[in-house]
Amino acid sequence: MRTSASHRLSFPRVFLSLAISAASLLGCRAGAAPAETAKESWTGLYFSGKKIGYTSTITESTTFRGRPALKVTSASKTRIELFGNNVAQDTTSVTYVDPSYKPLYQEYAIASNGSAVKIKADYQPGKIVCTVNSGGTPVQKEVPIPPGANIAVDSSDVVQGQKISPGQKMTLYFLEPLSISLLKADITVQAEEQVMLEGVKYQALRVVAATPMGVMTSWETTTGDLLKGDMALGPISLSMYRESKVTAQNTGSAAPRFAVIGAGGATKAAYVPPKDFALATSVTTDRPIENPRSVRSLTVAVAGVEDPRLIVSDKRQRATASGDSEHTVNMRITAEMFDPARAATLPITKPSVQAQLKGAPYLEIDDPQIRALAADIKGDETNSYKIAVKIRDWVHAHMTPDYSIGVPRSCAEINGKRRGVCRDYATLYAGIARAAGIPTRVCGGIVYADGRFFYHAWAESWVGDWVAFDPTLKADFVDATHIKFAQGDITDMFRVAGVVGHIKVKVLAVD
């Protein structure tokens, strides 16, 4: 089942994009002042000790819209292995901040294997106006700024030029470009320590940032330079180290030697994860699930879900708190075939589902080709369930598995290049379904295959009830091993990154 299971995966590489974006928080330059001349820094990126890429950052004084500002230009190159396939992603960003380090404007460009997404963010009073272009018509989304929120720039200085000292705490928000949402970071300056990096001794501050994607720990020099940053994902980790330009660009370089001087205690043998990022982030269970594609009822205990937004409960999936642990929930998933006779007839006017009929970032449902495709597949049919099945079948038949495109794409671009992983299948299905008049949301979570749970994306359409559709699978039946942590538009699906590397699943009952 390796072929059918592996081409469903998309979240590991999406998580990597999110993590690298958030990991820029680790580079907070304590007490840095606006540069009179350009300042350049380089960091190497490592996955559990293996070099996967690098980031460069140039900070320089400039003007923006006629006022003094700082311009921060960052570029990242990452290469990971996904089920034996090399996935490359190149990200560039240009950010303008005012002299007090408040963000003014950002532009991101994320490219992979001929596909790209461009995101612009204009910071305005009380909101951030974002424009997303992924090969189709640009789509805007406004992100509200909470009253009194301290906004930082993920690629710049999270402490905004302040002098920091042990014991200091602060809460910041930063824009995550893929999910197009504000993420919260609770930052604590824990201690001042002496550290050794490649044989050189430094006086450093240990800074911990708790974010929705995990806890990140960094060591900064007293002059504000990043020495090392770590984000643990269970037994694996993503790390970044200060390196020279030559070393950072050397894809074969080993992780630098780093140690906290005076740190005692015995060292345990290092865990060596699979070099494949998808396998390393998959979730094993206490016992196997036989014939997962036929499972109609599944009850599991999921530990490690700290964000309450990721505990999704509805008619198909019932989530209840477990008495075993504060962050453990019991989930019972029931999969049933839907009776077409119960389906709603188009047009669907139910007020509560109208939002799932609209266009959104990555879902350009007014694109002429998407509209024409929806009309052609729908034909004269008015039974919403039968139309959804036809769309699901069409997407499954016309898409081809391809792991190498490591960037989110819109339904319009996917239609022009019908290749991808589960997220692309679900995005194309959702775009066509909404264009056909069927309220549809995208779901992100995990699915069981090849003896473990992998991160996965599928969709649900309202056809009288919310019914699951998985265009990646061969059959219409969406089995009960689909465990959902997020639902909504494409950007909502990326919230699943918050559980990658943090959850454990115990199988309680299978039918």
pLDDT, tens digit, 9 for 90 and up, residues 258-282: 999 987 655 555 556 677 788 888 8
Alpha-carbon distance of 219 to 206, in angstroms, equals 5
Share the mean pLDDT of the chain: 87
- The CATH number corresponding to 292-510 among 3.30.2310.20, 3.10.620.30, 3.30.565.10, 3.40.50.150 equals 3.10.620.30
- Whether pLDDT at 470 is above 50: yes
Q: Give residue 442's pLDDT.
A: 97
Alpha-carbon distance of 32 to 223, in angstroms, equals 7
Domain ranges of the chain: 13-260, 292-510
Which of 43-47, 255-259, 467-471: highest mean pLDDT? 467-471
Select from 172, 177, 119, 169 the least CA-distant residue to 145: 172
Per the CB < 8 A criterion, the answer to whether 446 and 400 are in contact is no
Mean pLDDT computed over 499-507 = 90
Which pLDDT band holds residue 234 (cuts at 50, 70, 90)? Answer: confident
Q: What is the pLDDT of residues 5-31, one digit of tens each?
A: 333 334 444 555 555 555 444 444 433
Here the tokens at position 230 are 């770590």
Helix (H) or strand (E) holding 457: strand 452-462
CA 91, 96, 102, 105 dihedral sign is: negative
Could you tell me which residues are beta bridge partners of residue 80? Answer: 87
Q: Give residue 236's pLDDT.
A: 78
Query: What amino acid is encoded at 257 in this protein?
Result: R
